[in-house]
């Protein structure tokens, strides 16, 4: 008998806890064991790897990660769900309960964790804060070497987009600063409760060496300015950062970037070169 939660168990557990999924918390619970096993498989975890999970909810993915042999630190903002998760694991898979740690916290505020640090992030991220949560965790935990996140399909496409793509934007560049990312699958609506209005996508990412010499916050400041008004040429979009359009143009030339280019055409390396010119 599977330790994973199916539709009946998810609804029964939610009913007992009087949990009504809310858009405010971006809650859409996966209730299909096959989807859970697919997510865990696509995460490409090493045996016994320490995984950070965000928004475990009722525990569907948590149980899948534990079933695969991972150690899991689960961060849950809802105190009822955080209190219940260890009990669910103890009931469904008692032999795996010792590999679970639950932290009741807002993932947007998490900056450190006790003990040894997680090396992988695997999560069904809350739809409404998926991008800021992902970027916050990558900034806070240098230990995270790779991960797989389930997000709204539009967000998945944006995170994995290449320069020149219609959906390429600030999230694409910021994730690329950490390392390569690509969409590895689509997840249909029917495996969620409640059923969302959109399809979902899986994004796998890795972490490489940080670009040399330029702090992340300076690079991200250039990225934000470049995409604040997408239609503007960079010499105009970056005028505020460099003091004037003329000074921005000089910086762009020094960075070997055409001053008439737009942010959507540049890869992360070009943004790093521009940031290196900041006064």
pLDDT of residue 197: 84
Q: Tell me, what's the pLDDT at 1?
A: 41
Cβ partners under 8 Å of residue 119, min gap 6: 46, 49, 50, 51, 143, 144, 145, 146
Residues 38 and 174 in one domain: yes
* 126 & 223 share domain: no
If one counts the domains in the chain, the total is: 2
Q: Per-residue pLDDT tens for 174-183?
A: 999 999 999 9
Place of tokens 């890795």: 206
> Are 146 and 220 in a shared domain?
no
Whether residue 235 is contained in a domain is answered as yes
Asked, for residue 211, whether it belongs to a domain, the answer is no
Judge whether 2 lies within some domain. Answer: no
pLDDT tens figures, 28-39? 889 899 999 999
In angstroms, rounded to a whole number, what is the distance separating the alpha carbons of residues 228 and 181? 23
Has residue 26 been placed in a domain? yes
Q: Is residue 156 part of a domain?
A: yes
Grouping H, G, I as helix, E, B as strand and the rest as coil, residue 135 is: helix
CATH code for the domain of 264: 1.10.8.100
Output phi, psi for 39, to 5 deg: -60, -45
**Are residues 144 and 248 located together in one domain of the fold?**
no
Query: What's the whole-model pTM score?
Result: 0.92
Q: Which residues form the domain of 244?
A: 216-275
Residues 197 and 225 in one domain: no
In degrees rounded to 5, what are phi and psi of residue 115?
Answer: 75, -165
* 251-278 pLDDT tens trace: 999 999 999 999 999 999 999 999 999 9
Q: Are residues 183 and 59 in the same domain?
A: yes
- 114 with 161, same domain: the answer is yes
Which tens digit of pLDDT belongs to each residue from 133-167?
999 999 999 999 999 999 999 999 999 999 999 99
């Amino acid at each position: 008998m599977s330790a994973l939660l199916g539709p009946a168990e998810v609804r029964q557990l939610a009913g007992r806890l009087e949990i009504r999924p809310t858009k405010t918390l971006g809650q859409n619970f996966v209730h299909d064991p096959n989807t859970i096993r697919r997510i865990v498989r696509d995460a490409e975890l090493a045996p016994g790897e320490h995984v950070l999970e965000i928004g475990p909810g009722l525990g569907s993915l948590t149980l899948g990660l534990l079933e695969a042999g991972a150690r899991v630190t689960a961060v849950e903002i809802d105190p009822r769900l955080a209190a219940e998760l260890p009990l669910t694991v103890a009931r469904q898979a008692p032999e795996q309960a010792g590999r679970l740690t639950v932290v009741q916290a807002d993932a947007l505020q998490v900056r450190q964790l006790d003990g040894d640090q997680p090396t992988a992030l695997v999560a069904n991220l809350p739809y409404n804060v998926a991008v800021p949560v992902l970027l916050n965790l990558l900034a806070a935990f240098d230990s995270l070497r790779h991960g797989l996140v389930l997000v709204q399909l539009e967000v998945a496409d944006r995170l994995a987009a290449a320069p020149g793509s219609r959906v390429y934007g600030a999230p694409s560049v910021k994730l690329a600063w950490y390392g390569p990312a690509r969409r590895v699958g689509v997840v249909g609506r029917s495996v969620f409760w409640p059923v969302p209005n959109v399809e979902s996508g899986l994004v796998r990412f890795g972490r490489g060496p940080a670009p040399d010499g330029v702090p992340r916050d300076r690079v991200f400041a250039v990225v934000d300015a470049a995409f604040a008004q997408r239609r503007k040429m960079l010499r105009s979009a970056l005028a505020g950062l460099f003091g004037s359009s003329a000074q921005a143009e000089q910086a762009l030339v020094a960075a070997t970037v055409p001053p008439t280019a737009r942010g959507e055409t540049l890869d992360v390396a070009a943004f790093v070169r521009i940031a290196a010119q900041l006064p």
